[in-house]
């Protein structure tokens, strides 16, 4: 029985890691887009990356 609990925990940790990786990849793609073709072409890449990392919390703030 304890093997099942460990495998469930391992699966949850793996899903969490995949979720965070996807989150950062989307932020990176947004930053590249915003700096090259978006409204923030005059801003630095780091500014665009910061916006990419923060926008989900702004958009979905009521859920967090």
User: pLDDT digit string (tens) for 31-59?
Assistant: 999 999 988 889 999 999 998 888 777 77
What kind and span of H or E run contains 16?
A: helix 2-36
In a domain, 8, yes or no: no
Q: Is residue 17 part of a domain?
A: no
- Calculate the alpha carbon distances from 31 to 15, 28, 43, 57, 60 in Å: 24, 5, 11, 16, 19
Render pLDDT for 8-17 as a digit per residue (tens, 0 to 9). 888 999 999 9
Q: What is the pLDDT of residues 2-36, one digit of tens each?
A: 456 677 888 999 999 998 898 889 889 989 999 99
> Rounded to an integer, what distance in angstroms lies between the CA atom of residue 63 and that of residue 56?
10
Q: List the domain range (segments joined by +) for residue 54.
A: 23-64
Query: Domain tally for the chain?
Result: 1
In a domain, 3, yes or no: no
Is residue 35 a part of any domain in this protein? yes
């Amino acid at each position: 029985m304890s093997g099942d609990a460990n495998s469930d925990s391992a699966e949850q940790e793996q899903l969490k890691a995949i979720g965070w990786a996807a989150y950062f990849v989307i932020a990176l793609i947004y930053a590249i887009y915003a700096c090259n073709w978006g409204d923030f072409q005059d801003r630095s890449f780091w500014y665009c990356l910061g916006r990419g990392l923060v926008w989900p919390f702004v958009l979905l703030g009521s859920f967090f």
